[in-house]
Amino acid sequence: MDLLEYQAKQLFYEMGIPVLPSQQIDHPKDLKGLKIPYPVVLKSQVYTGGRGKAGGIRFVENTIDAVAAAQTIFNLPITGMYPAVLLAEAKYDADRELYLAVILDWSARRPLLLGSQRGGVDVEATIGAMQQVVVDQEFSPFYARRLALKMGLQGELIRSVSAILEKMYQLFLQKDLDLVEINPLAVSSAGELMALDGKITANDDALGRHPDLATLQEKIPHQIKTKMLPRDLADTTLVELEGNIGILCNGAGLTMTTLDLVHKAGGRPASFLNLGSEYRHNNSPEVLRDRIQRGLELMMQSKNLKVVLVNTLGNVMLCRQTAEAIATHLQHQAGSRVVPFVVRLVGDQFDEARQMLQALNLPLFHDLDEAIAEAISLSK
């Protein structure tokens, strides 16, 4: 379950991670009672990235401009989703922007710390400068400092960034999360840090232990559920880069990990697609097939695409159903452009999936590093 930005920042605040003064806006008229001094930034609260490029983030200098901008944002669909809530936040002057994340690495079954000196909206630049540290024993401040050093930070910034990483990890652990991300983590000219944006993905299977997280989704106003496209398709959003390897995964943490590993192995992602994790609540194979087919149709539009790497986990999607979805896509593509597939699956029904994909002459891997190496080889 993904949280909206304002919900993630509330958890940041409770954990002591620095966030800006902000106010939830349920209607444009709420801005007439804004308690934050201008200038402010208005942000669309939707379950997707790319809000800035789509016009869902706007800076305003006064109440008249704020009300007009809010009316526009409320009626602006971003990948099929309309916001039911906006976040009004104080403006912050950043001297530089960093990227930090704590994710669950399903392949290694360990938490993973990620960091980059290139935070912000440039996804490819962020991935290219990504550093990582695997938490392979009981967590200690050593892991956070190690990542800060690998990021190339110096002086007081090592201590301050490490302190935030420690709090992110505490939140990750306490709430049984799959992902805690701050992008960007702004650094002011005075060296102060501020989480300008945040993303949290909760583990659906652990929500029973955290009723406070489970109720967050219930607090989203009904209009966001009625205005958006069907949830099973609205999350199918392709992010285009400049390489030649298309990447399709399920789950934000797995997607980021796969992108990072492909880049570190010398590959160049052409695009990536996160299928999302909601499928575990819907046992219909048609939902999975539709998601994968729509995603691959978008991915195939790239002229630079040379190979598609599929990496999904069977605790969310059965291996056999993923293989069936890929087979259906290939049948529909018969006679058109042929792009090789490399498939890595983990979970139940792996043998059934292998037999199905072998009939299509598609390589199926259980080891992610081997799958990445094969995809990079085919991309050259």
282: confidence class by pLDDT, cuts 50, 70, 90? very low
Residue 61 CA, chain-centre distance (Å), reads 31
CATH fold for the domain made of 96-213: D-amino Acid Aminotransferase; Chain A, domain 1 (3.30.470)
Pair 367, 335: CB distance under 8 Å:
no
286: confidence class by pLDDT, cuts 50, 70, 90? low
Q: What is the pLDDT of residue 278?
A: 43
From the list 31, 19, 261, 282, the residue with the least C-alpha distance to 127 is 261
The average pLDDT across 124-129 equals: 64
pLDDT digits over 316-362, tens only?
A: 567 887 888 888 888 877 656 678 999 998 877 888 888 989 888 88
The average pLDDT across 121-131 equals: 68
The whole-angstrom separation of Cα 168 and Cα 255 is: 19
- Helical H runs in the chain? 5-15, 51-54, 63-74, 123-128, 141-150, 156-174, 211-218, 223-227, 231-234, 252-264, 285-299, 319-332, 350-358, 368-379
pLDDT at 225 over 60: no
**Collapsing DSSP states into helix, strand and coil, what is residue 1?**
coil
- The structural architecture, per CATH, of the domain 231-379 is 3-Layer(aba) Sandwich (3.40)
CATH fold for the domain made of 21-90: Dna Ligase; domain 1 (3.30.1490)
230: confidence class by pLDDT, cuts 50, 70, 90? very low
Q: 84 or 231, which is more confident? A: 84
Greatest mean pLDDT among 221-230, 259-268, 287-296 lies in 259-268
The whole-angstrom separation of Cα 219 and Cα 365 is: 41
Greatest mean pLDDT among 193-202, 270-279, 332-341, 355-364 lies in 193-202
Q: 316 or 379, which is more confident? A: 379
pLDDT at 377 over 90: yes
The whole-angstrom separation of Cα 81 and Cα 73 is: 11
The whole-angstrom separation of Cα 52 and Cα 38 is: 20
Pair 97, 186: CB distance under 8 Å:
yes
Taking all residues of the chain, what is their mean pLDDT, rounded to a whole number?
A: 84
pLDDT digits over 42-67, tens only?
A: 999 988 777 887 889 999 999 999 99
Q: 158 or 105, which is more confident? A: 158
Pair 33, 52: CB distance under 8 Å:
no
The amino acid at residue 356 is M
Q: What is the pLDDT of residue 283?
A: 45
The whole-angstrom separation of Cα 177 and Cα 172 is: 5
pTM (two decimals): 0.64
Pairing of strands 57-60, 96-105: unpaired
The ranges assigned to domains in the chain are 21-90, 96-213, 231-379
Q: The tokens of 102 are what?
A: 């704590």
Question: In the chain, what's the furthest Cα-to-Cα distance?
Answer: 64
Q: What is the pLDDT of residue 123?
A: 59
pLDDT at 266 over 70: yes
| Phi, psi for residue 240 in degrees, rounded to 5 | -95, 140
From the list 81, 83, 87, 71, the residue with the least C-alpha distance to 7 is 87
